[in-house]
Structure 1
Amino acid sequence: MSDIIEPLFRSPSSFYCALGPYQRLLDCALKALGEAQAIQRIWARDGTLWRQAPEEVAEITNRLGWLDLPFTMRAQLATLRTLSAEVLAEGFSHVILLGMGGSSLAAEVIRLILGRSAGYPDLTVLDSTDPAQIRHTAAIAPLSRTLFIVASKSGLTAEVASLYAYFRAALLAEVGESWKRHVLAVTDPGTRLAALAQEEGFRALFFNPPDVGGRYSALSLFGLLPAALIGVDLERLLERAANMAAACNTPASGADNPGLILGAVMGELAHHPYPGRDKLTLLTSAELAPFGAWVEQLIAESTGKEGQGILPVEGECLREPKQYGADRFFVYLRLDTADNRGNDALLAHLVELGHPLVVLRLRDVYDLGAEFFRWEFATAVACQRLGINPFDQPDVESAKVQARNGLAQYEATKTLVEEPSVLRDGVLTFYGPMPSTSDASEYLC
Structure 2
Amino acid sequence: MADILDWTSANLDTLDGATHEARAGEMAARLVEQTGSGELPFLTMSYMAGLKQQLSNLKDYLKGFDHMLLLGIGGSALGARALQKAFFPQQDQPGHNGPSLWIADNVDAYALESYLATLPAEKTVIVTISKSGGTIETVGQYFIFKEWAQKKLGDEWNRHMLLITDEEEGFLRTEADRNTIKTLPVPDNLGGRYSVLSAVGLIPALFLGIDIDSLIDGARDVVAPLIDPTLTGQTLSRHPSFQLATWAASLLDKGFDEMIFFAYIPLWASFGDWFAQLWAESLGKEGKGSQPVPAIGVTDQHSVNQMFMDGIRNKACLFLTCPTLPAGPRFPNDLPDQFDYVRGKNFGELIQAEGLGNRMALSQNGVPLVELSMGDDGPKQAGKLIALLGAATILTGWLMGINPLDQPAVELGKRLAKARMNADGLEEEKADMDAFLSADRDTREF
TM-score tier after normalising by the smaller chain length: 0.7 to 0.9
1:277-296 per-residue CA deviation (whole Å, 9 max, x = no partner) reads 11001111212111011111
Find the aligned partners of 1:421 and 1:63 in 2 and give their Cα distance: 47
Q: 2:38, 2:14 → 1: CA distance?
A: 34
Q: Is the 8 A contact 2:43 2:226 kept in 1?
A: no
Verify: 1:73 aligned to 2:48, yes or no. yes
Q: Take 1:333 and 1:295, find their aligned partners in 2: how far apart are those partners?
A: 12
Decide which of 84, 88, 98 is 1:115's aligned counterpart: 88
SS in 1 for 2:127: strand
- The equivalent residue for 2:321 is 334
Structure 1 residues 169 and 403, CA, compared in 2 at 3 Å: closer, same or farther? Answer: same
Which one of 251, 256, 262 corresponds to residue 238 of structure 2? 256
Verify: 1:377 aligned to 2:357, yes or no: no
**2:138 alignment counterpart:** 160
- Measured in 2, the distance between the counterparts of 1:360 and 1:247 equals 20
d(CA) in 2 for partners of 1:301, 1:175: 40
Q: Which residue matches 2:62?
A: 87
**Partners of 1:336 and 1:364 within 8 A in 2:** no
Verify: 1:221 aligned to 2:194, yes or no. no
The match for 2:280 among 295, 300, 303 is 300
The CA deviation at 1:244 is 1.0
The alignment-based identity, stated in percent, is 26
Partner of 1:386: 400
Worse-superposed segment, 111-120 or 354-363: 111-120
Matched AA of 1:43: V
CA separation of 1:262 and 1:140: change in aligned 2, threshold 3 A: farther
Displacement of 1:394: 1.4
For the pair 1:345 / 2:357, whether they are aligned, the reply is yes
Q: How far off its partner does 1:214 sit?
A: 1.5
Superposed displacement of residue 245, structure 1: 0.8
| CA deviation after TM superposition for structure 1 residue 227, in Å | 1.2
Q: Distance in 1 between matches of 2:99 and 2:50?
A: 24
Change (3 A) 1:256 1:139: farther
CA distance in 2 between partners of 1:280 and 1:364 (Å): 23
Q: Which residue type is aligned with residue 329 of structure 1?
A: A
Q: Does 1:99 align with 2:38?
A: no
In 1, Cα distance between equivalents of 2:187 and 2:287: 31
Deviations 1:403-442 (A, max 9, x none): 22222179999x97626466444x05xxxxxxxxxxxxxx
Does the Cα contact within 8 Å between 1:30 and 1:254 map onto a contact in 2? Answer: no
1:364 aligns with 2:372: no
CA–CA separation in structure 2 for the residues paired with 1:63 and 1:46: 6
Determine the C-alpha separation between the residues in 2 that align with 1:215 and 1:21.
29
**RMSD of equivalent CA atoms:** 2.7
Question: CA shift at 1:95, angstroms?
Answer: 0.3
Partners of 1:314 and 1:403 lie apart in 2 by 27
Aligned equivalent of 1:130: 108
Could you tell me which amino acid in structure 2 is paired with residue 359 of structure 1?
E
Q: Please list every run of 5 or more consecutive structure 2 residues that lacks an aligned counterpart in the other structure.
A: 91-95, 326-350
Instruction: Report the CA distance between 1:123 and its aligned residue.
Output: 1.0
Measured in 1, the distance between the counterparts of 2:354 and 2:49 equals 39
CA distance in 1, matches of 2:415, 2:38: 23
**Which of 404, 413, 426 is the aligned partner of 1:399?**
413
CA distance in 2, matches of 1:77, 1:308: 38
Matched, 1:268 2:241: no
Aligned-pair CA distance for 1:86: 2.4
Deviation readout 1:213-256 (Å, 9 max, x if unpaired): 11111111111122112111111110001001125456425443
Deviation at 1:299, TM superposition (A): 0.9
TM-score, normalised to structure 2, is 0.81
Q: How many residues align?
A: 395
Superposed displacement of residue 119, structure 1: 8.1
Change (3 A) 1:341 1:197: same
**Alpha-carbon distance change, 354 to 255 in structure 1, aligned in 2, over 3 angstroms:** farther
DSSP 3-state at the match of 1:314: strand
- 1:44 aligned residue: 33
Paired residues of 2:41 and 2:189 also in contact (CA < 8 A):
yes
Provide structure 1 residue ranges, at least 5 long, that are not aligned to the other structure.
1-10, 48-60, 429-445
1:98 is displaced (CA, Å) by 0.6
| Counterpart among 25, 39, 45 of residue 15 in structure 2 | 25
Match of 2:336 in 1: none
Following the alignment from structure 1 to structure 2, what is the Cα–Cα distance between the partners of residues 400 and 313? 24
| TM-score normalised to structure 1 length | 0.81
Hey, what does 1:283 align to over in structure 2?
262
Displacement of 1:63 in angstroms is 4.3
Per-residue CA deviations over 1:257-311 (Å, capped at 9, x if unaligned) read 11111122122212x11xx111001111212111011111111111112111110
CA distance, structure 2, for counterparts of residue 176 and residue 116 of structure 1: 34
Match of 1:176 in 2: 154
Give the structure 1 partner of residue 437 of structure 2: 418
Question: 2: CA distance between counterparts of 1:39 and 1:136?
Answer: 50
Match of 2:335 in 1: none
Name the SS for the 2:403 alignment partner.
Answer: coil
Q: How far apart, in 2, do the equivalents of 1:341 and 1:309 lie?
A: 33
Question: Does 1:205 pair with 2:183?
Answer: yes
- 2:173 and 2:238 map into 1 onto residues whose CA distance is 42
Q: In structure 1, give the amino acid aligned to 2:31.
A: I
